[in-house]
C-alpha cells in the first residue's frame, strides 16, 4: 500500500461520513422527481445506477472480480438478499418523502444505528465499552419517545431501519469489493426494474421519463445519487467496526430531521425535540469514548 494513502480504518471513516452526508440531503433531490410515482422512480433509479457502476468498473479494471464473485454461489445468494433489502429500502423511503412522512423516514435511520450496534455486538462479536453501552441506552430512550408518538407510521421507520441495518451486515460479510458488489446488486435488480418502467410506460398516464427534458435528466441523476453513496457506504462497512459505523449514521437522519423542520415545513412536537436532544447526547458520549480511547492508545505507544 502507498505510504501516502490513509489507513483503511481512516479512509473508511471518511467514506462513511461522505455517504451519510449525501443521504442526509437526498430529500432535496427527491423534490425534483416528486411527480414520479415511487415504484416507477425506484425502477428508473436501478436502471440508471447499473451503467454508472459499469463505467467505474471499466475504469478501475474490476471486471475479473465481478466474474469471480458470480462464480461463487454463496456470494451470489448473499448479494441477491442484499439487493432485495436495498430495493425495499429505496421504495419505502421514496414513498415516505413523497407522502410527507419526513419525520418517519428520519426516525427509521435513527433506529438503524441501534440495530447496527446490536448486530455488530451479537452477530459479529464486537465488544462495546461501558460508555458505548451508555450511549446506546440514551439513544434508545430517545427513539422510544418518538415511537410512543408515531404508532401509525411505525411501519415506515421499522422497515427502513431493519432493511438497511441487515443490508449493511450482509455487505460487510460478503467476500466481494464495494464496487463489484454494488454492480452485481444493480444487475440482479435490473429485470424487475425494467418491468416496472415498461408497465408505467404502457399505462394510460405514460412514462414519467419522457414528460420533459428536465424531469428526464433529474431521473438519470438518480443513478448518480444512488451509486455514489452506496459505494462509499460499502467501503466504510468493510473497513470500520459495524458498531462505530452505526453511530456515524446519525448524521443522515439529523439532516433529514432539520430539512423536515425547515424546507418541508413540518410541525415539530415537544416529544420530537426531546428525542433530538437525547440522540445527540448519545452521539456526544460515543464520540467522547472514541477520543478517550485514542488518547489512551497514544499514551501507551509513547
At 13-30, the pLDDT tens digits run 888 899 999 999 999 999
2-11, 83-92, 240-249: which has the highest mean pLDDT? 83-92
Are the CB atoms for 132 and 286 separated by under 8 Å? yes
- Percent pLDDT > 90 in the chain is 35
CA 31 to chain centre: 19
Q: How far apart are CA 290 and CA 240, in angstroms?
A: 13
Q: How far apart are CA 203 and CA 195, in angstroms?
A: 12
How does residue 3 score in pLDDT terms, banded at 50, 70 and 90? very low
6-10, 46-50, 108-112, 146-150: which has the highest mean pLDDT? 46-50
Q: Which range is least confidently modeled, 37-46, 80-89, 181-190, 273-282?
A: 273-282
Are the CB atoms for 108 and 157 separated by under 8 Å? yes
pLDDT single digits (tens) 45-85: 999 999 999 998 898 898 999 999 999 999 999 999 999 99
Q: Which range is least confidently modeled, 43-47, 189-193, 284-288?
A: 284-288
The answer to whether the Cα torsion of 161, 166, 169, 174 is positive or negative is negative
Q: How far apart are CA 38 and CA 155, in angstroms?
A: 17
For residues 197-224, give the mean pLDDT.
92
Q: 175 phi and psi, to 5 degrees?
A: -90, 70
The three cell numbers locating residue 283: 452521539
pTM: 0.79
pLDDT, residue 4, reads: 47
Q: Which of 194, 170, 175, 173 is closest to 50 using CA atoms? A: 194
Q: How far apart are CA 261 and CA 96, in angstroms?
A: 15
Q: Which range is least confidently modeled, 92-106, 163-177, 230-244?
A: 230-244
pLDDT, residue 8, reads: 57
pLDDT, residue 1, reads: 43
The three cell numbers locating residue 29: 433531490
CA distances from 276 to 23, 25, 54, 267 (A): 18, 18, 40, 14
Q: Which of 220, 19, 14, 26 is closest to 106 using CA atoms? A: 26
4-18, 82-96, 247-261: which has the highest mean pLDDT? 82-96
pLDDT, residue 79, reads: 95
pLDDT single digits (tens) 95-129: 999 888 888 888 888 777 777 777 878 887 878 88
pLDDT, residue 7, reads: 54
Q: How far apart are CA 219 and CA 222, in angstroms?
A: 5
Q: 123 phi and psi, to 5 degrees?
A: -100, -45
The three cell numbers locating residue 147: 415511537
Amino acid at each position: 500500500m502507498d505510504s501516502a494513502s490513509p489507513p483503511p480504518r481512516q479512509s473508511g471513516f471518511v467514506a462513511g461520513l461522505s455517504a451519510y452526508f449525501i443521504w442526509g440531503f437526498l430529500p432535496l433531490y427527491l423534490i425534483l422527481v416528486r411527480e414520479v410515482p415511487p415504484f416507477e422512480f425506484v425502477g428508473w433509479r436501478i436502471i440508471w445506477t447499473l451503467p454508472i457502476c459499469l463505467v467505474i468498473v471499466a475504469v478501475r479494471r474490476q471486471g475479473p472480480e465481478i466474474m469471480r464473485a458470480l462464480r461463487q454461489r454463496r456470494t451470489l445468494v448473499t448479494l441477491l438478499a442484499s439487493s432485495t433489502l436495498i430495493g425495499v429500502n429505496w421504495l419505502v423511503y421514496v414513498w415516505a418523502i413523497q407522502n410527507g412522512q419526513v419525520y418517519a423516514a428520519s426516525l427509521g435511520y435513527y433506529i438503524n444505528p441501534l440495530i447496527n450496534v446490536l448486530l455488530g455486538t451479537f452477530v459479529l462479536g464486537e465488544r462495546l465499552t461501558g460508555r458505548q453501552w451508555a450511549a446506546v441506552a440514551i439513544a434508545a430512550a430517545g427513539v422510544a419517545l418518538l415511537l410512543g408518538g408515531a404508532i401509525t407510521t411505525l411501519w415506515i421507520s421499522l422497515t427502513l431501519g431493519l432493511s438497511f441495518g441487515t443490508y449493511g451486515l450482509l455487505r460487510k460479510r460478503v467476500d466481494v469489493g464495494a464496487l463489484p458488489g454494488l454492480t452485481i446488486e444493480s444487475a440482479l435488480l435490473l429485470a424487475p426494474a425494467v418491468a416496472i418502467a415498461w408497465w408505467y410506460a404502457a399505462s394510460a398516464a405514460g412514462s414519467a421519463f419522457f414528460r420533459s427534458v428536465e424531469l428526464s435528466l433529474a431521473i438519470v441523476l438518480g443513478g448518480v445519487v444512488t451509486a455514489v453513496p452506496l459505494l462509499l457506504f460499502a467501503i466504510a462497512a468493510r473497513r470500520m467496526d459495524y458498531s462505530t459505523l452505526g453511530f456515524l449514521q446519525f448524521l443522515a437522519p439529523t439532516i433529514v430531521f432539520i430539512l423536515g423542520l425547515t424546507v418541508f415545513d413540518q410541525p415539530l412536537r415537544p416529544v420530537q425535540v426531546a428525542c433530538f436532544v437525547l440522540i445527540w447526547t448519545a452521539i456526544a458520549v460515543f464520540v467522547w469514548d472514541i477520543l478517550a480511547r485514542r488518547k489512551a492508545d497514544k499514551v501507551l505507544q509513547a
